[in-house]
Amino acid sequence: MRKLSTDELNRISVIEFKETQKIPVILILDNLRSLSNIGSIFRTADAFIIEKILLTGITATPPHREIQKTALGATESVDWQYFGTTIEAVQRLKADGIKIFAVEQAEDSVMLDAFSFDFNSKCALIFGNEVKGVDEEAMQWVDGCIEIPQFGTKHSLNVSITAGIVIWEVFQQFQKKF
């Protein structure tokens, strides 16, 4: 077995990425503190052609050296926008008819392995603060809640890991439908 070289990976350019059809999913990063988490989520969004990321509240915005360490340039390929509050972002999306789902442990949440994404229209996924989770006020606006099944003692995952798991599931479901 031999590892592939960078040239053999046939990566597309940023320009080609911008022109590629995206998965109609918007990620909302709700007051994330860690610049590494932000960068990791950008990089995962790039890897799986997610449409856009909305950064809210205290979530840092590119360009930022610490975000770039983990994003590795994905802040240039993935479209993003900043909102002062998560509620502002949610209300804007709701006005555009976009369904919003929190990724959170909550009453009546649907386990990720039982959730079906509807790719006929856009949806948004809210990923919450590393300590507080998804903003309580934002939870009042969501159309549903998705939870990742967990079986260990901690019942919590790092937000960038959570995003990776959910984005992978989105990507797999998208590939099966298209």
What confidence score (pLDDT) does residue 133 get?
97
- Domain carrying residue 44: 23-177
Tell me whether the omega of the peptide bond preceding residue 63 falls within 30 degrees of 0, making it cis. yes
3-state secondary structure (DSSP) of residue 151: coil
Torsion sign (Cα): 166, 43, 51, 90: positive
Between CA 135 and CA 35 the distance in angstroms is: 19
Counting Cβ atoms within 10 Å, is residue 8 exposed (0-12), middle (13-18) or buried (19+)?
exposed
pLDDT tens string for the chain (178 positions)? 999 998 899 999 999 999 999 999 999 999 999 999 999 999 999 999 999 999 999 999 999 999 999 999 999 999 999 999 999 999 999 999 999 999 999 999 999 999 999 999 999 999 999 999 999 999 999 999 999 999 999 989 999 999 999 999 999 999 999 8
Could you give the number of structural domains in the chain? 1
Is residue 104 situated within a structural domain? yes
> Is there a domain that residue 155 lies in?
yes
In a domain, 5, yes or no: no
Phi, psi of 28 (to 5 degrees): -110, 120
Provide the pLDDT for residue 126: 98
The token pair at 143 is: 């159309």
Strand order in the sheet with 50-56: 79-83, 50-56, 23-30, 123-127, 99-103, 144-147, 110-111
**80: in domain:** yes
Q: Say what the pLDDT of residue 178 is.
A: 84
Q: Is residue 15 part of a domain?
A: no
Residue 51, C-beta contacts closer than 8 angstroms, at least 6 positions apart: 22, 23, 24, 25, 26, 79, 122
**Please, are residues 109 and 133 in contact by the beta-carbon 8 Å criterion?**
no
Q: pTM for this one?
A: 0.97
In a domain, 35, yes or no: yes
Distance of CA 17 to the CA centre of its chain: 17
Neighbouring CB atoms inside 10 A of 64's CB total: 14
CATH code, domain carrying 42: 3.40.1280.10
In a domain? residue 85: yes
Residue 51 lies in a domain: yes
d(CA 138, CA 57): 12
